[in-house]
């Protein structure tokens, strides 16, 4: 006659913690979009594959500093979360939306050329309008810059072109509002 002792340990909490840490490794905790680390990896992966075109959309939230200064950082965080919602709705795999800095985001859209990028921009504007109607109050406003990468150049070059166009859009936004950009 022998005795067998069995010990069971519930590891579900540990598995949940591991899954959360894995999520945080590639996602932004505030917006739930991909993070800068994922963006850099994806940029390298797309460039290694060498299959263009890839439309690149650089996005920046207008008026974030003003919202933070006037209403506190919770209001600024709410604007960032709303931007994340809009951008997440605009993309579907294999496209990705990443938060790469404070109020700066990048969408990578493999397979889209200028026309496809412009169609996505129009869809993004519609989503932005819907978001503003739903939330009321201070509207979410985004500066956008679109460029297309083609095989034979560095993908980073398209990101820089899109970034320059976004800053031009941002400059016009603040000129029309007669604000000093440093103050908003």
Q: Per the structure block, which two tokens stand in for 109?
A: 């859209």
Tokens of 140: 């979410």
Give the separation between CA 174 and CA 21, rounded to whole angstroms: 39
Three-state helix/strand/coil letters over the chain: CCCCCCCCCCCHHHHHHHHHHHHHHHECCCCCCECHHHHHHHHHHHHHHCCCCEEEEEEEECCHHHHHHHHCHHHHHHHHHHHHHHHHHHCCCCCEEEEEECCEEEEEEECCCHHHHHHHHHHHHHHHHHHHHHHCCCCCCEEEEEEEECCCCCHHHHHHHHHHHHHHHHHHHHHHCCCCHHHC
For the annotated catalytic residues, the residue numbers are 103
């Amino acid at each position: 006659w022998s005795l067998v002792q069995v010990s069971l340990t519930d590891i579900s909490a540990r598995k949940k913690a591991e899954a959360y840490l894995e999520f945080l490794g590639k996602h932004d905790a505030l917006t739930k979009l991909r993070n800068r680390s994922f963006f850099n990896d994806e940029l390298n992966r797309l460039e290694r594959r060498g299959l263009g075109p890839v439309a690149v959309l650089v996005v920046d939230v207008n008026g974030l500093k003003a919202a933070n200064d006037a209403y506190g950082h919770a209001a600024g965080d709410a604007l960032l979360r709303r931007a994340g919602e809009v951008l997440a709705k605009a993309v579907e795999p294999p496209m990705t939306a990443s938060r790469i800095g404070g109020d700066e985001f990048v969408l990578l859209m493999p397979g889209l050329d200028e026309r496809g990028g412009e169609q996505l921009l129009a869809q993004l504007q519609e989503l932005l309008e819907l978001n503003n109607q739903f939330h009321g109050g201070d509207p979410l406003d985004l500066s956008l810059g679109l460029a297309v990468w083609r095989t034979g150049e560095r993908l980073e070059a398209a990101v820089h072109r899109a970034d320059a166009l976004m800053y031009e859009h941002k400059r016009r936004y603040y000129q029309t509002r007669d604000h000093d950009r440093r103050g908003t």
